[in-house]
């Protein structure tokens, strides 16, 4: 959810402005002033989207875009071109440029973010949503629903993800660290004991249905979802 956006812009003021807006909107901003540093950033940080200035020193933005498109590793990274007023829309979006969208300077932050989100939206792969059943519980990812013997069970977002993970990884012990990685994500820093609390909340939610014993404590190791 926290997409990385590479800003390729030689003008420091504009670069700063872009980075500010992007960061403000909750994205991670990477920066580059020219084609070389852009490539370096791309190799090291694998951005999800590139904001590319049409005019760049040495190599122009168009040429960089072309190169990006011809390289298998970067072919699928969407590009939004930054152009000066008056550039021909046809040229910008034309075949050779390979841009997904463009925006003319000066631009409103709102429009910039809207375009970024729109482009990202179309490039995010679809996730799976198969029905999961285990231990008398049924979980429907698409409907975001859990039922035990037909009765609905209300869960908060985190408990839902936690249960989903457990149900798809039953009969195996997971440490608190592993659960944090899998359910919270690798980039979140929270106390390990937080897992305990959510386990408790999940058990409490399952308890009315008599399903709370499905989640077992393995002292010294972690937790396990087990049908037995």
By the criterion CB under 8 A, which residues form the site for a second copy?
17, 21, 78, 89-90, 93-95, 97-101, 106-111, 114-115, 117-118, 121-123, 126, 142-144, 152, 156-157, 171-173, 177, 181, 186-187, 189-190, 218-221, 224, 226, 228
4 versus 224: smaller Cβ distance to DNA: 224
- Which structure tokens are listed for 200? 């408790």
- What does the DSSP 8-state code read for residue 74? T
* Most distant CA pair in the chain, distance: 69
Contact 171, 214 (CB under 8 A): no
Q: Which of 23, 58, 196, 213 binds DNA (CB under 7 A)?
A: 196
- The item of DNA, a second copy, none sharing an interface with residue 198, based on CB under 5 to 8 Å by kind, is DNA
Q: Does 218 bind DNA (CB under 7 A)?
A: yes
Q: Does 198 bind DNA (CB under 7 A)?
A: yes
| Contact range with DNA by CB under 7 A, out of 69-77, 125-133, 151-159, 164-172 | 151-159
Q: Which of 88, 95, 127, 150 binds DNA (CB under 7 A)?
A: 88
User: x/- string (CB under 7 A) for DNA, residues 2-41?
Assistant: ----------------------------------------
Which of these, 195, 164, 160, 161, lies nearest to 177 by C-alpha position? Answer: 195
Alpha-carbon torsion 62, 66, 69, 73, what sign? negative
- The item of DNA, a second copy, none sharing an interface with residue 75, based on CB under 5 to 8 Å by kind, is none
Q: What does the alpha-carbon distance between residue 22 and residue 16 come to, in Å, rounded to a whole number? A: 10
Alpha-carbon torsion 10, 12, 18, 22, what sign? positive
115 versus 198: smaller Cβ distance to a second copy: 115
Cβ atoms within 10 Å, residue 175: 15
Give least dist CB 164 to DNA, A. 12
HEC states along 8-28?
Answer: ECCCHHHHHHHHHHHHHCCCE
For residue 218, the surrounding DSSP H or E stretch is: strand 215-218
- Residues lying near DNA in the complex (CB under 7 A): 88, 90, 110, 156-159, 184, 188-191, 193-194, 196-201, 203, 217-222
């Amino acid at each position: 959810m926290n997409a990385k956006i590479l800003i390729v812009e030689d003008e420091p003021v504009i670069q700063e402005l872009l980075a500010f807006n992007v960061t403000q909107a909750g994205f991670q901003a990477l920066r580059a002033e020219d084609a070389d540093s852009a490539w370096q950033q791309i190799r090291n940080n694998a951005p999800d989207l590139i904001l590319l200035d049409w005019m760049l020193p040495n190599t122009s933005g168009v040429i960089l875009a072309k190169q990006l498109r011809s390289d298998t590793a970067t072919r699928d990274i969407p590009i939004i071109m930054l152009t000066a007023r008056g550039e021909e829309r046809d040229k910008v979006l034309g075949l050779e440029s390979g841009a997904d969208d463009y925006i003319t300077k000066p631009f409103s932050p709102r429009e910039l973010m809207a375009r970024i989100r729109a482009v990202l939206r179309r490039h995010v792969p679809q996730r799976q949503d198969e029905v999961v059943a285990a231990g008398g519980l049924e979980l429907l990812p698409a409907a975001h629903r859990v039922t035990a013997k037909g009765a609905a069970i209300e869960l908060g977002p985190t408990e839902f993800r936690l249960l989903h993970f457990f149900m798809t990884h039953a009969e195996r012990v997971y440490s608190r660290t592993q659960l944090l990685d899998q359910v919270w994500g690798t980039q979140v820093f929270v106390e390990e004991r937080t897992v305990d609390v959510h386990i408790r909340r999940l058990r409490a939610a399952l308890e009315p249905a008599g399903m709370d014993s499905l989640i077992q404590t393995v002292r010294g190791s972690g937790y396990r979802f087990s049908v037995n």
